[in-house]
């Protein structure tokens, strides 16, 4: 679980899981806190203040919507500080897409990528040659990528979104085989 800051500043973050860790920044004399998924704090209770708290955000099936977490603090003088909020996007859906070879020249394959994600956006891609000994490295997503490959090789394209959801299966492209045309003699 990745930590999520929760303070006076609103931040929009995307995650692919509902169990998160909140980082709570309170005034220095805070002794208690109240955390809720509901702005009215229905069912919430005061508990000892802690800098971090494991929390489950509300979600409904695979629908991608902002979730808001609310927190109040109480200091040693019983004064209440808050309501502070943070918007968190629960994004369980994998990105989708397509790819095609747009150019193959001198052993370099240029691949056109058309990848999409329902909310957080596609963040990274990794290209690899099937059967290669080298590991594919993640790099920022762009609509075109290039890789060195031999004719007849299969290029695998892995991709993931900003919430960390990765493609279940890589896209596969066959590098065009070399065609040998014999010289015709008269």
Rounded CA separation 88/17 (Å): 11
Q: Are residues 100 and 163 in the same domain?
A: yes
Which domain CATH number covers 38? 2.60.40
pLDDT over 60 (residue 1): no
Checking if the pLDDT of 52 tops 50, the result is yes
| pLDDT per residue as tens digits for the range 112-136 | 999 998 777 899 999 999 988 777 8
Pair (63, 129) in one structural domain: no
> 155: domain CATH number?
2.60.40.10
Token code pair at residue 104: 């193959």
- Total domain count, the chain: 2
Domain for residue 183, yes or no? Answer: no
With respect to residue 160, please indicate whether it lies within any of the assigned structural domains. yes
Asked whether residue 39 falls in the same domain as residue 84, the answer is yes
Residue 119, domain extent: 96-174
7 and 86 co-located in one domain: yes
81's tokens = 């500080």
When pLDDT is averaged across residues 34-45 and rounded to a whole number, the result is 91
3-state SS, one letter per residue, for the chain: CCEEEECCCCCCEEECCCEEEEEECCCCCEEEEEEECCCCCCCCCCEECCCEEEEECCCCCCCCCEEEEEEEEEECCCCEEEEEEEEEEECCCCCEEEEEEEEEECCEEEEEEEEECCCCCEEEEEEEECCCCCCCCCEECCCEEEEECCCCCEEEEEEEECCCCECCCCEEEECCCCCCCCCCCC
pLDDT > 80? residue 139:
yes
* Pick from 89-103, 132-146, 171-185: least confident: 171-185
Question: Last residue of some domain: 35, 55, 90?
Answer: 90
Give yes or no for residue 64 having a pLDDT over 90. Answer: no
> Per the structure block, which two tokens stand in for 22?
């909140």
């Amino acid at each position: 679980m990745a930590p999520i800051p929760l303070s006076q500043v609103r931040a929009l973050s995307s995650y692919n899981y509902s169990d998160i860790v909140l980082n709570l920044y309170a005034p220095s004399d805070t002794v208690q806190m109240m955390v809720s998924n509901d702005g009215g704090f229905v069912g919430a209770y005061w508990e000892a203040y802690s800098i971090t708290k494991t929390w489950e955000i509300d979600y409904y099936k695979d629908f991608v919507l902002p979730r808001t977490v609310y927190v109040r603090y109480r200091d040693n003088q019983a004064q209440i500080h808050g309501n502070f909020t943070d918007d968190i996007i629960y994004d369980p859906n994998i990105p989708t897409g397509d790819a095609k070879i747009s150019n193959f020249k001198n052993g370099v394959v240029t691949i056109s990528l058309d990848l999409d994600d329902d909310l957080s956006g596609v963040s990274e891609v990794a290209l690899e040659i099937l059967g290669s000994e080298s590991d594919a490295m993640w790099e920022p997503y762009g609509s075109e990528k290039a890789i060195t490959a031999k004719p007849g090789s299969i290029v695998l394209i892995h991709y993931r979104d900003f919430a960390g959801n990765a493609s279940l299966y890589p896209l596969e492209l066959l590098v065009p085989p070399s065609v040998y045309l014999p010289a015709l003699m008269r």
